[in-house]
Amino acid sequence: MNPRRFHFYLGILTALPILAWGVSGFFLSLPPSVSQGVPYSVIESHRISITPSGVIEAVELHLGEPPELTSISLEQRGDKAVYSAFGKKGAFLVDAVSGNVSKPPPPSRLTRWIRNAHFFNFAGSSRTTLLMLFSFLTVCLVVSGVTLAFWQRIVKQGSCGQSPEQDPVLQTAESQTLPHSGRRSEARQHPPRVNPEPD
């Protein structure tokens, strides 16, 4: 198959997934102040009375079992300092002053749809296979594009270094122009004869 045509078909196959990843990733990267309208402000350290270890204890007391948290972050939401805790048991919000534990509000329908589109959750059990397939096709698209660009550059440099007798493009151009130039030269060398008028 022609490399250009192969690259073209790869672009068609990967256009939709790349567009979905780009648009959904852009919206997911927006801060909550933009996507959810939650204002953020500077953290007031003097108002924090709960440490990260206290967050683990508060969530464990709330669940009645070890929370198995994987990340804890501190955020200032309006006039409240709140810990966001994530783990195998889910996500939790812990008040940095009182230690009260609550569940974060559910995401909007638009946020859920964007998240499902970004991670291919609509594919169900085939999600991992589709992600690997489109990731592989995207890599092939990039590699084929870079290869075509370098190949064109190499061919162009090679054709520039050739003499007119070695360059097939120049030979073709000369073969198309020679007959016309020959006719013009013949016309110049042999002007039309004019019969003398009889006396």
* pLDDT tens track for 150-180: 887 777 666 555 544 554 544 544 454 445 4
Could you tell me if residue 122 is inside a domain? Answer: yes
Q: Is 166 part of a structural domain of the chain?
A: no
Residues 21 and 119 in one domain: yes
DSSP H stretches of helix in 29-126: 32-35, 52-63, 109-119
Q: Indicate if 41 and 94 belong to the same structural domain.
A: yes
| Domain assignment present for 178 | no
Computed over its alpha carbons, how large is the radius of gyration of the chain?
A: 36
Same domain for 74 and 22 = no
Provide the whole-model pTM: 0.47
Q: Are residues 73 and 118 both part of a single domain?
A: no
Alpha carbons 98 and 77: distance in angstroms, whole number:
15
* Structural element, H or E, at residue 69: strand 69-77
Torsion of CA 99, 102, 105, 107, to 10 degrees: 100
164: in domain? no
Residues 81 and 62 both lie in one domain: yes
SS3 79: coil
Q: Are 91 and 85 in contact (CB under 8 A)?
A: yes
Residues 66 and 94 reside in one and the same domain: yes
Q: What is the pLDDT along the chain (199 residues), one digit of tens a residue?
A: 687 888 888 888 888 888 888 888 888 777 665 555 555 677 877 778 899 999 999 999 999 998 889 999 988 877 788 999 998 888 899 999 999 999 988 877 887 888 888 877 777 788 888 888 888 988 998 998 888 888 877 776 665 555 445 545 445 444 544 454 444 445 455 555 555 555 5
Question: Distance between CA atoms of 57 and 44, rounded to whole angstroms?
Answer: 22
- Specify the CATH number for the domain of residue 57: 3.10.450
57 and 25, same structural domain?
no
Give the range of the structural domain holding residue 103, as residue numbers without chain letter: 37-107
How far is residue 71's CA from residue 86's CA, in Å, rounded to a whole number? 5
